């Protein structure tokens, strides 16, 4: 009996030892319970977009990037949100396109009475008559010479001078002023520059146009205008000391293109006046809209406005040569292709 008990006990102890030995090895078998969760990687969100690229001349800076989204918690602590991107720096202004200007020389601007015929000279006296012939027989005395013919009538005189003499001259010998001084100097008249007046086109040229006295050729007004398209206009003018009646006058100037610009040889010039009864320009300079007489480059050209007409295409319907307050010269590209 003891031996049976002893044998059973030994068998029981062996089984227990075997069970404990198998359960002790956990290296080859997965655990039936999940271990504590590992925190999600601290995934800070992406930062904003890169700095904006500078725009075209004077471009707007890039928009700031959107802040990144915080990382999702996966058992661990969520990542910190990304920092917003920095706004791009504004683009640097572009370099303006350079235009080669047209250079004009202006000389001998004058308002003068139109030339009228002087009174005609008296006619020459008639020749003396021949003496009478001697009769046959006794010699008679020769007849007396005939009387001289009557002198021809004097020709009609020129038109009477106006009550006020509005004549002036700018010869630019030493500066841009006029003689008398109340009519000058010749200067930039900003109201008449394109775009706008008379339907003239852009781009704007008033700030880049210049006028200066130049000693060349005995003294001239030197004007630089950066014409670049058709139908541009530059305006240089003087004033009358009081509203003037210029009936019977002509406004004249000598003009030369001394250097052609990007627009070529097509610019022209015409004289004009303006006042309480409208605007008038020269019919030879502008016989029709978009039709002009061109200047011959590197030669002096005389431009003339007859203030009794005919007038140019831009003349206003209400124009009359009384109450004129401004005189000037329009340099323009109305007739350019």
Q: What is the pLDDT of residues 250-288, one digit of tens each?
A: 999 999 999 999 999 999 999 999 999 999 999 999 999
Decide which of 80 and 219 is more confident: 219
Specify the pLDDT at position 162.
66
Which of the two residues, 59 and 231, has the higher pLDDT score? 231
Find out whether 116 and 159 touch, Cβ atoms under 8 Å.
yes
Please name every residue paired with 107 in a beta bridge, in sequence order, or none if there are none: 254
- 20, pLDDT greater than 80: no
Query: Are the CB atoms for 194 and 231 separated by under 8 Å?
Result: yes
Place of tokens 């008449």: 192
> Residue 203: what pLDDT?
95
Q: What is the largest CA-CA distance in the chain?
A: 232
How much of the chain exceeds pLDDT 70, in percent?
58
pLDDT band, very low/low/confident/very high, at 115 (cuts 50, 70, 90)? confident
Q: Which carries the bigger pLDDT value, residue 49 or residue 116?
A: 116
Which residues are paired to 294 by β-bridges?
none
pLDDT in tens, 67-99: 445 444 444 454 555 565 565 565 555 566 789
Residues 162-176, mean pLDDT to the nearest whole number: 94
Q: What is the mean pLDDT of the chain?
A: 74
Tell me the C-alpha distance between 105 and 269, whole Å. 11
- What's the pLDDT at 72? 47
What are the Cα distances from residue 234, in Å, to 231, 263, 269?
Answer: 10, 14, 10
Report the share of the chain in percent with pLDDT over 90: 56
Please give the average per-residue pLDDT across 229-239, as a whole number: 97
pLDDT value for 150: 53
Phi, psi for residue 235 in degrees, rounded to 5: -125, 120
Over residues 131-149, mean pLDDT: 45
- Whole-angstrom distance, CA of residue 274 vs CA of residue 276: 7
Q: What is the mean pLDDT of residues 25-52?
A: 38
Rounded CA-CA distance 303/268 in Å is: 10
For the cut 80, the answer to whether the pLDDT of residue 248 exceeds it is: yes
Say what the pLDDT of residue 123 is: 46
pTM as predicted? 0.62
**Is 209 within 8 Å of 197 (Cβ atoms)?**
no
- Is residue 149 predicted with pLDDT exceeding 50? no
Q: Between 301 and 139, where is the model more confident?
A: 301
Q: What is the pLDDT of residue 97?
A: 75
The per-residue pLDDT for 87 is 58
Please, which pLDDT band fits residue 8 given cuts at 50, 70 and 90? very low
Has residue 53 got a pLDDT over 80?
no
* Per-residue pLDDT, 28: 41
């Amino acid at each position: 009996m003891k031996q049976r008990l002893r044998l059973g006990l030994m068998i029981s102890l062996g089984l227990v030892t075997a069970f404990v030995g198998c359960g002790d090895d956990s290296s080859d078998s997965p655990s039936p319970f999940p271990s504590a969760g590992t925190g999600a990687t601290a995934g800070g969100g992406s930062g904003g977009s890169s700095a904006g690229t500078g725009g075209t001349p004077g471009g707007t800076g890039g928009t700031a990037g959107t802040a990144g989204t915080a990382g999702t918690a996966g058992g661990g602590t969520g990542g910190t949100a990304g920092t917003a991107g920095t706004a791009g720096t504004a683009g640097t202004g572009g370099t303006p396109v350079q235009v080669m200007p047209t250079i004009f020389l202006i000389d001998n601007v004058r308002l003068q009475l139109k030339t009228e015929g002087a009174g005609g000279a008296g006619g020459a006296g008639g020749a003396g008559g021949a003496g009478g012939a001697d009769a046959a027989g006794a010699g008679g005395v020769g007849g007396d010479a005939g009387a001289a013919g009557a002198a021809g009538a004097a020709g009609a005189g020129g038109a009477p001078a106006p009550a006020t003499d509005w004549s002036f001259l700018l010869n630019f010998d030493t500066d841009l002023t006029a003689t008398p001084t109340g009519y000058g100097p010749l200067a930039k008249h900003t109201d008449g520059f394109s775009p706008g007046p008379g339907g003239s086109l852009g781009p704007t040229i008033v700030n880049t146009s210049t006028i200066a006295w130049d000693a060349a050729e005995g003294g001239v007004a030197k004007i630089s205008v950066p014409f670049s398209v058709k139908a541009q206009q530059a305006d240089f003018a003087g004033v009358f000391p009081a509203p003037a009646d210029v009936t019977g006058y002509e406004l004249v100037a000598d003009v030369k293109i001394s250097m052609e610009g990007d627009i070529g040889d097509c610019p022209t010039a015409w004289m004009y006046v303006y006042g309480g009864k409208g605007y008038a320009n020269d019919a030879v300079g502008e016989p029709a809209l978009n039709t002009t007489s061109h200047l011959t480059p590197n030669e002096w050209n005389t431009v003339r406005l007859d203030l009794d007409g005919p007038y140019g295409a831009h003349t206003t319907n209400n124009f009359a040569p009384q109450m004129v307050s401004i005189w000037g010269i329009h340099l323009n590209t109305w007739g350019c292709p």
